[in-house]
Amino acid sequence: MSEPSLDASVQAFVARQPGLAWRRRWLCAFIRFWMRILGRMTITGMEHVPPSGPTLIIMNHATYLDPVVVMGAMNERFVVPMSKAENTRSPIVGPFIWWYGAYTVNRGVVDRQALMTSIELIKAGQMIAISPEGTRHPEGLSRPKDGVVYVASKSDAVMVPVAVSGLQNWQKTIPTLRRPKVQVNFGQPFRLKLDGRTRIPRDELSAMSEELMYQLSRAVADPALRGEYADLSKTTTELIEFVDPRTGEPLPAAPAVHSEAAGGD
């Protein structure tokens, strides 16, 4: 994958970020209010989110609400989310995307503008959120696109897996007034093992993608949503290293898996 050129509009978008803080603070508070009304929320693993610095949130995407719930779960930092371009044309969702300050990606093509925006946001110390699969998969985790590991390799980001479980049938619970049990779980933060390299062979990028997907699967509380990555015994960590979320420094050994999210596997 060739290196995209840095466009002036990318620089301008990155420079806008501090001025969007008040909007995001208001909207995230609004999201958290509705989260408490619509569901019985349990949020675990927040201590794994770095308090500052270049951060890439990788998340599962089983329902439309998952990205919104992840945004609302953050109470110390703001997520800069990536949204598919079609959402901006929605009369309901579009205004919120613009007002919050999300950026868009064109699906089905290599969107160099979205890739470069992601990389430069992270390098500037922002926290962005991407679904590695590129689109919703209500049946559970599926094979990732190359984009997320490419962005991580170019930005040297600390990656934090986060998984949302329990929203699969949220529309059906509204008439019954029964709030679904929803769990948001943040997994152990890690980096790719780049060894100072700026270019990674494609086959190695694919292997890195597989390893990060198993880390994401470990964060999924509902085994039914682990999809193609349900067999956690296949997890390997040869190409990633776990890090301290406060310092970003590598940990001496792989930490224990969160037992509840991992389902005891």
Q: Phi/psi at 82 (nearest 5 deg)? A: -100, 130
Q: For residue 46, is pLDDT > 50?
A: yes
Q: For residue 38, is pLDDT > 70?
A: yes
The lowest-confidence range among 70-74, 251-255, 260-264 is 260-264
Say if residues 78 and 127 touch (Cβ distance below 8 Å).
yes
Q: Phi/psi at 220 (nearest 5 deg)? A: -75, 120
114-128 mean pLDDT: 96
Question: Which secondary-structure segment (H or E) carries 128?
Answer: strand 127-130
**CA–CA separation, 163 and 151 (whole Å):** 20
pLDDT given at position 173: 65
How do strand 190-192 and strand 103-105 relate by DSSP bridges?
unpaired
**CA–CA separation, 121 and 114 (whole Å):** 10
Give the pLDDT confidence of 66-118 residue by residue, as tens digits. Answer: 999 999 998 889 999 888 888 888 888 888 888 999 999 888 777 889 999 99
258-262 mean pLDDT: 47
The residue that leads in pLDDT, 2 or 130, is 130
Q: Is the pTM above the cut of 0.75?
A: yes
93 token code pair: 């969702």
Percent residues over pLDDT 70 in the chain = 90
174-192 mean pLDDT: 86
Domains belonging to the chain, first-starting first, are 10-262 (3.40.1130)
> Over the chain, what is the mean pLDDT?
88
Give the pLDDT confidence of 134-182 residue by residue, as tens digits. Answer: 888 999 999 998 889 999 999 999 999 999 998 887 666 666 667 888 9
